[in-house]
Chains A and B, each alone.
Chain A
């Protein structure tokens, strides 16, 4: 799912730090934003905006961090509103709901681990490309 590749140029120290921070940003907001998933996306989006004039390496990793937030945004938003409807409306806790929440936890946890790993590797200057999101980032983010 995660692939270490060579970037088109060797990034400098300041670049690896900024690129790594984009993942850390999504990690911190991931914890804060669990109850309201949109916070994750917004925080990563603003971090991307502030670095949009950065170097290619920084932009590329900010974009990958941003794109990876989209899938969990949908998964978590659905889970969040389902939970709300159980607490305040007539929905009940069913096997469908619990299975969904466990699936959501598995996906969130995978993303969490992948984000930590990528943040560490990027800090070392190693280019890490995620399955699906890496290719999508290549498509959007140009040198």
Chain B
């Protein structure tokens, strides 16, 4: 035993010392992290302002490009009707109404998409394809969810790259790239996980806004069935895959909530709106 001790200087005390020092290192790390968390770095580093400014500039450039190539609908009945739906969704879900902007475009495509800085672009083809205002509200909620969950910038960073986005906003990249970015937003899908997240959030928004989510699921079922005939007009569906599956989990998520359906628009207004857009 004496011989062993002579060759092995690490007794229990040394082991204790190592454990103590190791634990102290861990404590030091976590306490530094904890102390630093007390400082509002997001404000100090102006992260929010920088992000907001980049989004604002991107939105401005992209919308300018879309406006020059597409026919914007400025009919007051159309704008007021869509505005009423969005306002109700926002009010019932504590979403700042002024943060959500929208534009309607005269086009037969069944499409709607979200842009940076909270802009929604809705094609008239989508409004005419919906049977009732609840179906349209479902699609609007889905797109608002993309905005609220910050999916738009994530998609752009992934597809275009952060450095390219910044160079667009600083004006060092040409208009071709801006057109390309607008195309990414209007005709490519989000990741499946982000789409599902937006769908589930949309169900939550609809439920809170007293709009039955089953209509949204019905719209997806209906569109899925008519897909083969109308494929060239179904941009929203082609960019949102597995519509049948989506309809199923929307039903699944909403089955436990008994929603009292309170229409936003009067039947007369809704019919007038559809008639107006169908005749355009």
Contact = CB atoms under 8 A, between A and B. Distances in A.
B150 A132 contact: no
A136 B19 CA distance: 9
A100 B29 CA distance: 9
Given A87-B157, A135-B14, A139-B14, A98 B41 contact: yes
A90 B150 contact: yes
Contacts of B24: 132
Interface string A80-105: 00000001111011111011101100
A90 B157 contact: no
B42 A98 contact: yes
A100 B14 contact: no
B194 A98 contact: no
B12 interface: no
Contact of B36 (A75, A99, A136, A138): A99
A106 B32 CA distance: 9
A71 interface: yes
Of B10, B42, B158, B194, most buried by chain A (CB within 10 Å of CB) is: B42
A9 interface: no
B32 A95 contact: no
A89 B192 CA distance: 11
Nearest to B30: A103
A107 interface: yes
B239 to A, nearest CB: 19
A104 to B, nearest CB: 9
Given A98-B42, A98-B45, A92 B21 contact: no
B68 interface: no
Given A132-B18, A139-B18, A94 B33 contact: no
B41 to A, nearest CB: 4
Nearest to B51: A93
Given A100-B33, A139-B14, A95 B154 contact: no
Contacts of A103: 29, 32-33, 36
